[in-house]
């Protein structure tokens, strides 16, 4: 079989897995969130508009795949998976606001503030953050996580999403705009802004499934490496991609003077670094055997995106 054939097969296998898991996540989110008719209706609609905007569900699928790697049940990890997607979506809504990145297009559709106005966009983001903690704390049946695991998941999510993680990363990013950015600063932005939440996705999937501390450490490293690789690949696509494949304005990061990996290191070096990170991440999965296969597919998919 040729290398092209193998690549195609791996990608099809990944797409199949991703579609199945993303459908689980979507069904859960749909049944958990207030319907559009729930007052105040504008808020209910705005929350659903951004959450069901065709996101790739990378973070929730990572939660589920990490749970599978340690032998957990998807039903126990689904609320955590949903929580991570809600936090991610809230951050996108707020990042797109005129006072922040001022983006009018996201995943190929007008952004929340364009459709609902700024006030509702701010409040929809706020409500999504709260929903995320609500679903972790009080998950609907059949999820039956013990209180100890639920509270640990809340602490992990809060630690990754807050000032020491995602929100702090957004501030680092804002502060770096239009300035020369060195390697250390760039990795700090990535580690906080996107890395912390991706790392925590892997951790919380494992925690929800009662992983051993050793397995938790392995999946933490996996999450760190895969998360940074994901961000580098995203930066490469921003330079090389088109509006259609990105679903956002291509080249926008470069135009706005935002720090990106290819801008600091060049495309070749960026691609090499991403391959190295994914290779190391795959190595972490060896002790999990076949149960680590979904996580491996996820990591390999990232690298294929960058080629």
- Footprint on this chain of a second copy (rule: CB under 8 A): 34, 38-40, 42-44, 47, 90, 94, 97, 99-100, 117-120, 122-123, 125-127, 129-131, 133-134, 136-138, 146-148, 150-152, 154-155, 157-159, 161-164, 167-168, 170-172, 174-175
Euclidean distance between CA atoms 153 and 286, whole angstroms: 25
Euclidean distance between CA atoms 277 and 192, whole angstroms: 17
Query: Least Å distance between CB 221 and a second copy?
Result: 22
In the bound state with a second copy, the residue whose beta carbon lies nearer, of 96 and 225, is 96
Angle of helix 3-32 relative to helix 74-95, nearest 10 degrees, comes to: 90
Query: Nearest Cα to 63, choosing from 228, 221, 208, 212?
Result: 208
Query: Least Å distance between CB 233 and a second copy?
Result: 25
Query: Least Å distance between CB 194 and a second copy?
Result: 15
In the bound state with a second copy, the residue whose beta carbon lies nearer, of 38 and 256, is 38
Query: Least Å distance between CB 100 and a second copy?
Result: 5
In the bound state with a second copy, the residue whose beta carbon lies nearer, of 181 and 303, is 181
In the bound state with a second copy, the residue whose beta carbon lies nearer, of 106 and 131, is 131
φ and ψ at 105, to 5 degrees? -130, 135
Assess contact for 194 and 173: CB atoms under 8 A: no
H or E stretch covering 197 = helix 196-208
Query: Least Å distance between CB 94 and a second copy?
Result: 6
In the bound state with a second copy, the residue whose beta carbon lies nearer, of 149 and 273, is 149
The tokens describing 257, both together, are 């003077």
The tokens describing 267, both together, are 């495309």
């Amino acid at each position: 079989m040729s290398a092209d054939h193998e690549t195609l097969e791996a990608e099809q296998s990944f797409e199949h897995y991703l579609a199945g898991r993303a459908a689980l996540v979507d069904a859960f989110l749909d049944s958990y969130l207030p319907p559009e008719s729930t007052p105040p209706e504008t808020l209910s609609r705005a929350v659903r508009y951004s959450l069901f905007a065709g996101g790739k569900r990378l973070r929730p699928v990572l939660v589920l795949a990490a749970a599978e790697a340690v032998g957990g049940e998807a039903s126990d990890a689904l609320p955590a998976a949903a929580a991570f997607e809600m936090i991610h979506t809230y951050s996108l809504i707020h990042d797109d606001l005129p006072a922040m990145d001022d983006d009018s297009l996201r995943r190929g559709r007008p952004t929340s503030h364009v459709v609902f106005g700024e006030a509702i966009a701010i409040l929809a983001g706020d409500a999504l953050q709260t929903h995320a903690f609500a679903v972790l704390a009080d998950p609907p049946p059949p999820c039956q996580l013990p209180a100890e695991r639920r509270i640990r998941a809340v602490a992990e999510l809060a630690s990754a999403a807050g000032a020491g993680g995602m929100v702090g990363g957004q501030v680092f990013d804002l502060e770096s705009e239009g300035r020369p950015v060195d390697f250390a600063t760039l990795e700090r932005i990535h580690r906080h802004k996107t890395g912390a939440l991706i790392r925590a996705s892997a951790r919380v999937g494992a925690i929800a499934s009662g992983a051993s501390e050793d397995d938790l450490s392995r999946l933490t490293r996996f999450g760190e490496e895969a998360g940074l690789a994901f961000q580098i690949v995203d930066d490469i696509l921003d330079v090389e991609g088109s509006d259609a494949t990105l679903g956002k304005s291509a080249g926008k990061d470069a135009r706005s003077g935002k720090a990106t990996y290819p801008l600091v290191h060049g495309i070749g070096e960026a691609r090499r670094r991403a391959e190295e990170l994914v290779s190391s991440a795959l190595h972490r999965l060896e002790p999990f055997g076949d149960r680590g296969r979904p996580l491996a597919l996820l990591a390999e998919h990232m690298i294929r995106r960058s080629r």
